[in-house]
Structure 1
Amino acid sequence: MIVELRRYTLRPGRRDELIELFDRQFVESQEELGMAVLGQFRDLDRPDSFVWLRGFPDMTVRGRALREFYGGPVWKQHGPAANATMLDSDDVLLLRAIVPPPASPRDDHRPASVVTATIWYRDRPFDDAFTRWFRGRDAGGAAVLSTEYAANDFPALPVREGEHAFVWFTRATGPMDGEGIEVPGQFGVTRTERLRLAPTARSAFR
């Protein structure tokens, strides 16, 4: 599975407006075209940030489905209202799933767990040796992904180029689940990001 980790910086105070529009108009309309809306989240530490995950079976489906959606009637009608809430929508990592994100019934309304995303970066691709080390820690992880290096075949939606990222999602059990995991120096991790994410009412990852 190919997965986009999309982080939007919004105009102050407009996050709930975008979430209401997104959950109402942009879930089924994308999935009908072969995409998977895997999760939608409020960033708990950035009040004007909206984070979501979109999946595709492969890059070929991605290119076709994005062209159909962004050239189609739903985006034509509701896209301008969505764009009006945003300051930036280009913070996107293109990833390949090692462990795909889980899916719960979308409208079961059970309380959702906070989801923690830990992102490790280094100056070269994360290889099988790193994946074996990670799995050997028995650290769990509801989803595990690393950078997909295929060319972005829908340049109207930019993705971050030249990044080497390894992303690990957990359902948080504390304020920063996964914070205690230290990567051995031999793996050359240069930077770590952590996101605390609250699923929206219609998020499949919850």
Structure 2
Amino acid sequence: MTDVVELRQYTLHPGQREVLIELFDREFVETQEATGMRVLGQFRDLDRPDHFVWLRSFPDMPARLQALTSFYTGPAWKANAAAANATMIDSDDVLLLRPVRQGALAGLDPATRDTPASSLVTATIYHLPSPPEEHDVRFFGETVLPLMEKAGATPLALLRTEYAENDFKGLPVRTGEHVLVVLASFPGQDAYAEHTERLAGLPEWRDDVRPRLPDSVDRLLLTPTDRSMLR
């Protein structure tokens, strides 16, 4: 079950991204999952060479507190924390989310890890002025995602802000924000470029969807590491 998701964006010292990825993929995947969380995906940000983006999930908020406490007091983090922190300028850019559709990310297969990943994943963060109403969520789930798929995307999940209090104080999260996040996958960068052209050319997207989308949008273009399940 995946009911709570963290979308984590780290700003790193110049030239340190590959150092962190090698350390993370070797030391921080199975060791985190042993505490009850799932490491969903690890990524290079195409537009920001000194940024590392990753997602992890938990069954619920109490399980999150238990898993984070276990991991950050455990041997894997104690042994490697100094090396990991040495690569980072900032690790506090974190959105706490939950899937709109329960089980949306449950089918990810750990067997995909350790195989070459040539795909492109997009995380599109739509900033709303207030908590999303149910009609907003339905609009994205029933209109936006199907049109994206029609234009060549593979939608992976629709997520919304989780408003529960962050009870693991050692790791800050962004608060006071209202977002809907669309995760989607493409075979590669060329396929993504073709998708954007097709999508812009769809009359229903241009006339019906674009005018209803929020003006404030962050779009992350992400390439998975070879140990990422999301790809």
TM-score above 0.5: yes
Aligned to 2:112: 106
Q: Give 1:7-26 correspondences, 5 Å limit.
A: 7-26=9-28
SS of 1:17's equivalent in the other structure is helix
Q: Give 1:1-206 correspondences, 5 Å limit.
A: 1-99=3-101, 100-101=104-105, 103-104=108-109, 105-107=111-113, 109-137=115-143, 138=146, 139-140=148-149, 141-172=155-186, 173-175=191-193, 180=200, 182-185=209-212, 189-206=214-231
Contact 1:9–1:87 (Cα < 8 Å) also in 2: yes
Q: How far apart are 1:113 and its partner, in Å? A: 1.0
Counterpart CA distance in 1 for 2:195 and 2:68 is 34
Per the normalisation by structure 2, the TM-score is 0.83
Q: How far apart are 1:175 and its partner, in Å? A: 3.1
Q: 1:100-134: CA deviations, max 9, x gaps?
A: 33523233514431001111001101121011111
Give the letter for the 1:200 counterpart. Answer: T
Aligned to 2:152: none
SS of 1:166's equivalent in the other structure is strand
Q: How far apart are 1:163 and its partner, in Å? A: 0.7
Counterpart CA distance in 1 for 2:83 and 2:112 is 24
RMSD of aligned Cα (Å) = 1.8
Give the letter for the 2:43 counterpart. Answer: F
Q: How far apart are 1:148 and its partner, in Å? A: 0.1
CA gap of 1:77–1:111, structure 2 versus 1, over 3 A, is closer
Counterpart CA distance in 2 for 1:108 and 1:78 is 21
Q: How many residues align?
A: 204
Counterpart CA distance in 2 for 1:142 and 1:91 is 22
Structure with the bigger percentage of helix: 2
Q: How far apart are 1:190 and its partner, in Å? A: 4.0
Counterpart CA distance in 2 for 1:150 and 1:107 is 31
SS of 2:112's equivalent in the other structure is coil
**Unaligned segments of structure 2, at least 5 residues:** 150-154
**Unaligned segments of structure 1, at least 5 residues:** none
Give the letter for the 1:103 counterpart. Answer: L
SS of 2:140's equivalent in the other structure is helix
Per the normalisation by structure 1, the TM-score is 0.92
